[in-house]
């Protein structure tokens, strides 16, 4: 009890300096937590990927489509449970700042492969019946206020003209981790337009989504699919859904690495500030440490005292930062992040990193003052001024 009381009194003796040190640590840990959450959000789509789903695309580039008749040949391969088509649409609703993903899919087959998307039975039936109907994810609907029955005009970029859609269904996520920021509509609607306007581009598919009956056979089935179309005019590249998603992340991987690096630089900066604060505090109290030594307290006691003071400040900063990270991240997402991220949840690992970073700052900042105060001679310490 005596030791704890002594630590607390010494740690908060210079209240303004202690408060500013804690505030700096809180800001640094908050920034670290937010930056780590930004990095994690880039991988949200990949984390949602199924271990049983494969993506088959043109081996040259996604820009080049695949013939639609490949679907039947893929379905006939041993180990394939289901196949669906998906085509990126890339239209613009309202303006470029209101961007969201749109896909043309063969609706019954596609959603059979994605049980994580949940529909109301009546809305699902309406969606199936309406060739111009579309399905909007709950997160997307809440972001822009879409409701069932709304007319949704979208200006085509890849496919010119104004496309008219009607919101026939708003699907939910099976759990909180399911991303529902996409719009889906009937591939037949797009293909019919292509048959009239650009017949040579009709019956072409961006990618095939393939479901495998056994997750352990994923690599085997992927090789079989690519072998099926080897030496054809449109050879394929088949990869897991997660690898496919990560290929998009790789396009901005350098930026992600920079953001992650900056988050650790922030911690190093506050480490330098905390170390300077502890050094100042220890230097001012050298006569007190010398007095304690004269009274019989040994160097280990002095070292523990300084370390405990530093850890108390670090712990206080960590507790405040961890308590504020969730609300601040939510506020950031609501204010500015909805347009950029499909999900923005602080991972448990981020909280653990914040606690470890605070512990490291507390220990390392106290290291030099501990050694100096423990080694100071009694006479030199009593003689020391300021």
Q: What string of H, E and C letters represents the secondary structure of the chain?
A: CHHHHHHHHHHCCCHHHHHHHHHHHHHHHHHHHHHHHHHHHHCHHHHCCCCCEEEEEECCCCCCCEECCHHHHHHCCCCEEEEEEEEECCCECCCHHHCCEEEEECHHHHHHCCCCEECCHHHHHHHHHCCCEEEEEHHHHHHHCCCCCCEEEEEECCCCEEEEEEEEEEEEECCCCCCCCEEEEEHHHHHHHHHHHCHHHCCEECEEEEEECCHHHHHHHHHHHHHHCCCCCCCEEEEEHHHHHHHHHHHHHHHHHHHHHHHHHHHHHHHHHHHHHHHHHHHHCHHHHHHHHHCCCCHHHHHHHHHHHHHHHHHHHHHHHHHHHHHHHHHHHHHHHCCCCCCCCCCHHHHHHHHHHHHHHHHHHHHHHHHHHHHCCHHHHHHCCC
| Whole-number percent of the chain with pLDDT over 70 | 83
Nearest one of 97, 240, 119 to 168, comparing CA atoms: 119
149 inside domain? yes
CA 172 to CA 362: how far, in whole Å?
A: 45
Q: Does residue 176 contact residue 168 with C-beta atoms inside 8 Å?
A: no
Among 234, 260, 290, residue at a domain's last position: 234
pLDDT of residue 48: 66
Residue 278 belongs to what domain range?
A: 2-44+252-383
Q: Which residues contact 46 (CB under 8 A, 6 or more apart)?
A: 242, 245, 246, 249
Q: How confident is the model at residue 2 (pLDDT cuts 50, 70, 90)?
A: low
Q: Are residues 71 and 19 in the same domain?
A: no
Q: Are residues 40 and 154 in the same domain?
A: no
105 inside domain? yes
Q: Are residues 165 and 293 in the same domain?
A: no
Spell out a b/e string for 61-73, using b for 16 or more CB atoms within 10 Å of the CB, else e. eeeebbebebbee
264 inside domain? yes
Q: Are residues 95 and 148 in the same domain?
A: yes
Q: How confident is the model at residue 251 (pLDDT cuts 50, 70, 90)?
A: low
pLDDT of residue 130: 93
Q: Are residues 75 and 215 in the same domain?
A: yes
Spell out a b/e string for 46-60, using b for 16 or more CB atoms within 10 Å of the CB, else e. bebbbebbbbbbbbe
Q: Are residues 275 and 351 in the same domain?
A: yes
pLDDT of residue 172: 93
Residues 138-164 pLDDT 10s = 989 988 899 999 999 999 888 888 899
Q: Is the model more confident about 20 or about 13?
A: 20
Least confident of 89-103, 323-337, 338-352: 338-352
What's the N-to-C CA distance of the chain in angstroms? Answer: 29
Q: How confident is the model at residue 342 (pLDDT cuts 50, 70, 90)?
A: low
- Asked whether the predicted pLDDT for residue 236 surpasses 70, the reply is yes
Q: Which range, 111-120, 170-179, 274-283, has the best average confidence (pLDDT)? A: 111-120
Least confident of 171-175, 236-240, 255-259: 255-259
What residue has token string 């449109």?
A: 234
What residue has token string 């306007």?
A: 197
Q: What is the mean pLDDT of the chain?
A: 83
Least confident of 1-10, 76-85, 218-227: 1-10
Q: Are residues 73 and 215 in the same domain?
A: yes
241 inside domain? no
Q: Is the model more confident about 18 or about 287?
A: 18
346 inside domain? yes
53 inside domain? no
Q: Are residues 10 and 156 in the same domain?
A: no
Q: Are residues 99 and 146 in the same domain?
A: yes
pLDDT of residue 336: 61
pLDDT of residue 378: 66
Q: Are residues 209 and 356 in the same domain?
A: no
Nearest one of 218, 229, 183 to 64, comparing CA atoms: 229
Q: Does residue 343 contact residue 41 with C-beta atoms inside 8 Å?
A: yes
- Asked whether the predicted pLDDT for residue 376 surpasses 70, the reply is no
- Asked whether the predicted pLDDT for residue 255 surpasses 90, the reply is no
Q: Which range, 126-130, 198-202, 310-314, 364-368, has the best average confidence (pLDDT)? A: 126-130
Q: Is 179 left (phi over 0), alpha (psi -120 to 50) or beta?
A: beta
The total domain count for the chain is 2
Q: How confident is the model at residue 178 (pLDDT cuts 50, 70, 90)?
A: confident
Residues 46-74 pLDDT 10s = 566 678 899 999 999 888 999 999 999 99
Residues 84-122 pLDDT 10s = 999 999 888 888 777 888 999 999 999 999 999 999 999
Q: Is the model more confident about 325 or about 47?
A: 325
Among 234, 260, 285, residue at a domain's last position: 234
pLDDT of residue 353: 86
CA 185 to CA 104: how far, in whole Å?
A: 5
pLDDT of residue 119: 96
75 inside domain? yes
Among 234, 266, 290, residue at a domain's last position: 234
pLDDT of residue 34: 83
Q: Are residues 133 and 174 in the same domain?
A: yes
245 inside domain? no
């Amino acid at each position: 009890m005596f030791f704890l009381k002594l630590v607390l009194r010494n740690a908060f003796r210079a209240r303004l300096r202690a408060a500013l040190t804690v505030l700096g640590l809180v800001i640094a840990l908050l920034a670290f937590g937010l930056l780590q959450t930004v990095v994690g959000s880039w991988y949200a789509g990949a984390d949602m990927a199924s271990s049983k789903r494969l993506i088959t695309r043109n081996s040259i580039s996604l820009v080049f489509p695949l013939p639609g008749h490949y679907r039947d040949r893929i379905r006939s391969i041993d180990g394939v449970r289901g196949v669906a088509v998906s085509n990126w649409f890339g239209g613009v609703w309202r303006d470029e700042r209101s961007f969201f993903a749109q896909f043309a899919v063969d609706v019954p087959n596609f959603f059979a492969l994605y049980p994580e998307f949940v529909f109301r039975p009546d809305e699902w039936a309406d969606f199936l019946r309406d060739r111009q109907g579309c399905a909007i994810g709950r997160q997307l609907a809440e972001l822009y206020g879409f409701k069932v029955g709304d007319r949704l005009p979208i200006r085509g970029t890849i496919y010119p003209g104004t496309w008219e859609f009607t919101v026939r269904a708003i699907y939910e996520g099976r759990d909180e981790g399911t991303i529902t920021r996409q719009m889906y509509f009937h591939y037949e609607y797009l293909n019919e337009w292509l048959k009239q306007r650009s017949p040579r581009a009709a019956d072409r598919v961006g990618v095939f989504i393939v479901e495998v009956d056994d997750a352990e056979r994923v690599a085997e089935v992927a090789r079989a699919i690519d072998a099926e179309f080897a030496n054809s005019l449109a050879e394929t590249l088949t990869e897991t859904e997660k690898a496919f998603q990560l290929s998009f992340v790789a396009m901005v991987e350098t930026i992600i690495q920079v953001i992650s690096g900056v988050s650790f630089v922030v911690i190093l900066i506050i480490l330098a500030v905390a170390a300077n604060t502890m050094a100042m505090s220890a230097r001012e109290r050298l006569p007190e440490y010398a007095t304690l030594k004269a009274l019989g307290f040994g160097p280990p006691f002095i070292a523990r005292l300084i370390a405990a003071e530093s850890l108390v400040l670090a712990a206080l900063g960590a507790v405040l930062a961890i308590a504020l990270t969730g609300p601040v991240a939510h506020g950031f997402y609501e204010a500015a992040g909805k347009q950029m991220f499909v999900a923005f949840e602080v991972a448990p690992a981020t909280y653990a990193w914040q606690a470890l970073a605070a512990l490291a700052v507390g220990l390392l900042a106290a290291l030099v003052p501990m050694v100096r105060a423990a080694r100071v001679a009694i006479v030199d310490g009593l003689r020391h001024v300021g």
